[in-house]
Amino acid sequence: MEDKTLIELKTKIQNKEISSYELTKFFLNRIKKIDPKLNAFITVTENDSLKKAKKIDSEIAKGNINPLSGIPIAQKDIFCTKGIRTTCGSKMLEDFISPYDATVVEKLDKAGMIIIGKTNMDEFAMGSSNETSYFGDVKNPWNLNCVPGGSSGGSAASVAARLIPCSTGTDTGGSIRQPASLTGICGIKPTYGRVSRYGMIAFASSLDQAGIFTRTAKDCAILLSHISGYDVKDSTSSKKEVPDYYKECTKKFEKMKIGIPEEFLDGLDSKVAEVFTESINIFKSNGCEIKKISLKNSKLGVSAYQVVAPAECSSNLSRFDGVRYGFRANDVKDIDELYKKSRSQGFGDEVKRRILIGTYALSTGYYDAYYLKAQKIRTIISKEFQNAFKEVDVIIGPTAPDCAFKLGEKLNDPIAMYLSDIFTVSTNLAGLPAISIPMGFKNKLPLGLQIIGNHFDESKILSLSNHYQNLTDWHMQKPDMLGET
Ligand code: GLN
């Protein structure tokens, strides 16, 4: 059962071959058995999800069925969930119970899905290894000594270990694609504005975007159609019509022109390069034209990102002051001390580092030198992508420079950690959609292939992903968590 895709489970429920209760119970049992090894979940909502499953079963019996009725999903703990604790991986929100649902949560609920729990993540989504969580590290199901990537490490690990067929994530600089790459699953970050950010705890508002983890491109497509669309509660959400991504990505494959930026191959690890070259050859011999392109400013992406993202986070996180909600320090003599102590004790080291960098970059005298310059680089990077898309339909490359690294390996070297995002941050700076799909292995650890599209070209990147998955079986490989294989 754990190997079934979302589409297969949907058919099983609709044909009444399995009840939602049985399905939910099945995944809850798997979480109970396996998650102690992974720590992918911060909260498991056993009672609530079983109650909801029963309710949905009785609705189905009456003939009231929604497109994804009765299928369980895990929500990254950055999405506000009414009545369920939402921690964002931080001590600051350890006991926070949201009074409302995020739009993504509401939409999946309307589609009939059941929240099974909230997944572990880097604190406030800052990290590339899921080691900055207040709730402990998440382990990579392929090798428990390795990181699953971050910040959506729990969402990725839970899908890779088949604890759940699908989960949500957020991607500010790579937090969906990089963990998807490191755990051997699919993860899509849509165009900025495609999905509402309402109720998604803000890290860097001009970069944050919600997305999906599944094991196949087709499943990604189905869920993406459900979470996309304009939302009055998010003025940056797009009014552009939402296509039926499943239909779009499964129709007859049309020849595509694929761009490969030479900069992505510069100094690339030799095994990653070998695996990537095999993927290029698959596309070449199956209806695609390959074109070398240049994105020479993409190497400035991480530097620009590490100014823009901290600047925005320093502003967004000012709301956590110990007064309104969240953690409040004891033993304070006045309001200044309340702010200071609550923030010092409530935030972890990485979050503090970002707030300090951001505040510095925005302060008088440094604004022009850092923030303004970073914004100019952002514009240059966006324009470079636009020029590339005049010549090619999509751009491909490895998602991450390497396979999963060891827990602790980069924790004390923030620059090395930030460089894990070297291939992913530029697309956030430019607001472009991108997906990571499995493309092979290095040292028995998965490697991801990134496909980047132009704004609102989700259908194209999903279609190419589906084409690739019809030709390969990398996405079918699974980690042996219970000695099952
Ligand atoms: N790893 C990047 C960071 O640490 C991106 C995080 C994200 O996409 N949320 O900022």
Asked, for residue 290, whether it belongs to a domain, the answer is: no
Regarding whether 470 and 338 lie in a shared domain, the answer is no
Please answer whether residues 102 and 115 qualify as being in contact, where contact means their C-beta atoms are separated by less than 8 angstroms.
no
Please answer whether residues 183 and 448 qualify as being in contact, where contact means their C-beta atoms are separated by less than 8 angstroms.
no
Stated pTM of the model: 0.97
How is residue 336 written in tokens?
């200044």
Among 36-45, 58-67, 335-344, 475-484, the range scoring the smallest mean pLDDT is 475-484
Q: Is the peptide bond before 151 cis (omega within 30 degrees of 0)?
A: yes
How is residue 432 written in tokens?
């472009």
What CATH number does residue 392 fall under? Answer: 3.90.1300.10
User: Known catalytic residue: 279?
Assistant: no
Whether the pLDDT of residue 482 is over 80: the answer is no
Whether the pLDDT of residue 339 is over 70: the answer is yes
Whether the pLDDT of residue 484 is over 90: the answer is no
According to DSSP, residue 461 is labeled H
N-to-C CA span, the chain = 14
Write out the residue range of the structural domain in which residue 395 sits: 6-263+386-476
Q: How far is the CA of 153 from the centre of ligand 1 (A)?
A: 11
User: Known catalytic residue: 49?
Assistant: no
Whether the pLDDT of residue 8 is over 70: the answer is yes
Q: How far is the CA of 346 from the centre of ligand 1 (A)?
A: 20
Mutate to test the pocket of ligand 1, among 128, 189, 316, 424 (most ligand atoms within 8 A of CB): 128
- Confidence band, pLDDT 50/70/90 cuts, at residue 483: confident
For residue 364, what pLDDT is reported? Answer: 87
Regarding whether 359 and 321 lie in a shared domain, the answer is yes
Smallest CA-to-CA distance from 1 within 35, 25, 34 is with 25
Regarding whether 253 and 223 lie in a shared domain, the answer is yes
User: CA 269 to CA 271: how far, in whole Å?
Assistant: 6
Smallest CA-to-CA distance from 352 within 126, 88, 86, 89 is with 126
Regarding whether 462 and 393 lie in a shared domain, the answer is yes
Regarding whether 104 and 230 lie in a shared domain, the answer is yes
pLDDT in tens, 161-198: 999 999 999 999 999 999 999 999 999 999 999 999 99
In the listed set 352, 379, 406, which residue is the last one of a domain according to the structure? 379
The mean pLDDT of the chain is: 97
Q: How far is the CA of 330 from the centre of ligand 1 (A)?
A: 31
- Please give the average per-residue pLDDT across 155-160, as a whole number: 98
Regarding whether 436 and 369 lie in a shared domain, the answer is no
- Please give the average per-residue pLDDT across 204-228, as a whole number: 98
For residue 318, what pLDDT is reported? Answer: 96
pLDDT in tens, 230-253: 999 999 999 999 999 999 999 999
The amino acid at 410: K
Closest atom of ligand 1 relative to the 150 alpha carbon: 1
Smallest CA-to-CA distance from 174 within 204, 198, 151 is with 151
User: CA 105 to CA 110: how far, in whole Å?
Assistant: 9
Whether the pLDDT of residue 423 is over 80: the answer is yes
Ligand 1 neighbours, Cβ below 6 Å, are 125-128, 151, 171-175, 203, 309, 421
pLDDT in tens, 390-417: 999 999 999 999 999 999 999 999 999 9
Closest atom of ligand 1 relative to the 203 alpha carbon: 9
In the listed set 315, 348, 379, which residue is the last one of a domain according to the structure? 379
pLDDT in tens, 301-325: 999 999 999 999 999 999 999 999 9
The percentage of the chain sitting over the pLDDT mark of 90, rounded to a whole number, equals 96
Regarding whether 393 and 361 lie in a shared domain, the answer is no
Q: How far is the CA of 171 from the centre of ligand 1 (A)?
A: 7
User: Known catalytic residue: 459?
Assistant: no
Whether the pLDDT of residue 485 is over 80: the answer is no
For residue 172, what pLDDT is reported? Answer: 98
In the listed set 337, 359, 379, which residue is the last one of a domain according to the structure? 379
Q: HSE on the CB side for 410, CA within 13 Å? A: 21
**How many domains is the chain partitioned into structurally?**
2
- Please give the average per-residue pLDDT across 202-227, as a whole number: 98
> Hey, whose CA ends up nearest to atom 5 of ligand 1?
173
Whether the pLDDT of residue 481 is over 90: the answer is no
Closest atom of ligand 1 relative to the 204 alpha carbon: 9
